Amino acid sequence: MGNEYEVYRTTTLGLALQETLDEFIQSNQISDKWGKRMFQEYDKSISKIFSSKVNNKITFKSKLDTYRNCDNVWTLLFQGIEITIQNSPAIKLESNQNVKIVACEAKSDKKSKNQNFDD
Amino acid sequence: MSAQSSENSVKKIYQTVIDEVIDNIREAFLDEGHDDSLLQDLKQMWENKLNSSRAVQNGDEHSEPSLRLPTHKEPPKGVGQEMKPGLDPATRAAFQALPHSLYSGQDVSLKLKKHLGAQVDGGVDGSSSDEDEDETDLVGGIPGDEDDDDDKNDEPSECEGKEDSDPLNSEDDLTEPGSPNSNVDLFDTEHVIVCQYDKITRIKNKWKFHLKDGIMNINGKDYLFSKANGDAEW
């Protein structure tokens, strides 16, 4: 429980699932409820995968064009970006290219977030 | 090349997710009387769509643009109607951001900018209350509009046009069909990062980001990170 954000549904993998489910639902092979359930499973799996299979740190530098915080969801629009990835070539986008970031508040399921209590 | 191997590991991770989701749903699926072959078909289609959308990397992008653009003409279908009610704001925000990052950037940017402006009506938090009133302006207008007065000033004529329709889109007009840059379209100029944040702070106009568990789609490729730290100037 805890980290099942729906926000990962708009990624490549999530969208592929969305399209697949749409086709199956529209052709009446499965019901809408299965679509929802599959997405819930997807949310769970994708959230877990980070702690088990992804372990790389990146740093980036950019220019912030606009920002919004609504319901503890930050939406940021960057102009250009330079991303340094461990063991990979850096990614650089010029400032005429926009990068959008949608970030939900991280919840730690086991311990309280010490960062927020930083005095 | 390490870029390719990180690409491969992304694929593997995705495959792991697919396998896990299918396995987890299988029991309930079968209990309801559905056939396992149906589940297999579903899994197969999911994998196929995944592979056709991003696995044709490393030089193959030009060869099958049609594969990636079947729904190019119908962005609203993917965005508006398929969304189930009750999606949390993050997903709504992200849906507006990334409906067709796989396909073209132009229509998406258009709708994206409109949605960015329309979506938040008053929920902007006190992010920068001291010096700038941009927060309030952000709410009513299209993002980027107000900033031009303060920061950018490099394209004053664009400023005028910005206040009307498609303000931000006018800057992205590299995607005119027939123009030499039209193939930029196929490289999905809509770059998105979906993640969680541990902390986002600001001192004057210097922002610091502590992010985690993110999936990035940049230049059509997916990247994952467990932690991302960044700086940006506003």
CA distance B203 to B138: 20
Q: Is B80 on the interface with A (CB under 8 A)?
A: no
Q: Does the distance separating the beta carbons of B143 and A66 come in below 8 Å? A: yes
**Residue type present at position B112:** L
Q: Is B225 on the interface with A (CB under 8 A)?
A: yes
CA distance B41 to B109: 34
CB A4 within 8 A of CB B33: no
Predicted pLDDT of residue B16: 92
DSSP labels, B94-113: HHHH-TTTTS-SHHHHHHHH
List of residues 6+ apart from B36 with CB closer than 8 A: B26, B29, B30
Predicted pLDDT of residue B91: 61
Predicted confidence (pLDDT) per residue in A54-66, tens digit: 888 999 999 999 9
User: Which of the residue ranges A106-115, B147-156, B183-192, B223-232 would you say has the lowest mean pLDDT?
Assistant: B147-156
Predicted confidence (pLDDT) per residue in B144-190, tens digit: 444 444 444 444 444 344 445 556 665 565 545 545 544 444 444 58
- CB-based burial label for B185 (10 Å; 0-12, 13-18, 19+): buried
Question: Minimal Cα distance from B201: which residue of A?
Answer: A116
Q: Does the distance separating the beta carbons of B217 and A70 come in below 8 Å? A: no
**Residue type present at position B77:** K
CA distance A102 to A76: 7
Q: Where is pLDDT greater, at A8 or B126?
A: A8
Give the SS3 label for residue A31.
coil
Residue B28 has pLDDT above 50, yes or no: yes
CB A82 within 8 A of CB A55: no
Q: Residue B161 is inside which H or E element, if any?
A: helix B156-162
CB A7 within 8 A of CB B90: yes
Predicted pLDDT of residue B4: 62
CB-nearest partner of A105 from B42, B116, B197: B197
Q: Does the distance separating the beta carbons of B14 and A115 come in below 8 Å? A: no
**Cα separation values, B94 from A64, B48, B144, Å:** 18, 23, 18
CB A88 within 8 A of CB B180: no
DSSP bridge partners of A55: none
Residue A90 neighbours by CB distance under 10 Å: 11
Tell me how close the Cα of B21 comes to any Cα of chain A, in angstroms.
6
Residue B129 has pLDDT above 50, yes or no: no
- Label residue A29 by pLDDT band (50, 70, 90): confident
Tell me how close the Cα of A27 comes to any Cα of chain B, in angstroms.
12
Find the mean pLDDT for residues B210-225.
92
Predicted pLDDT of residue B29: 87
Residue B103 has pLDDT above 50, yes or no: no
Residue A33 has pLDDT above 80, yes or no: yes
Q: Residue B69 is inside which H or E element, if any?
A: none
Residue B124 has pLDDT above 60, yes or no: no
Predicted pLDDT of residue B40: 92
Tell me how close the Cα of B178 comes to any Cα of chain A, in angstroms.
20
Q: Hey, what are B164's tokens?
A: 């009307």
CA distance B183 to A95: 19
Q: Does the distance separating the beta carbons of B18 and A13 come in below 8 Å? A: yes
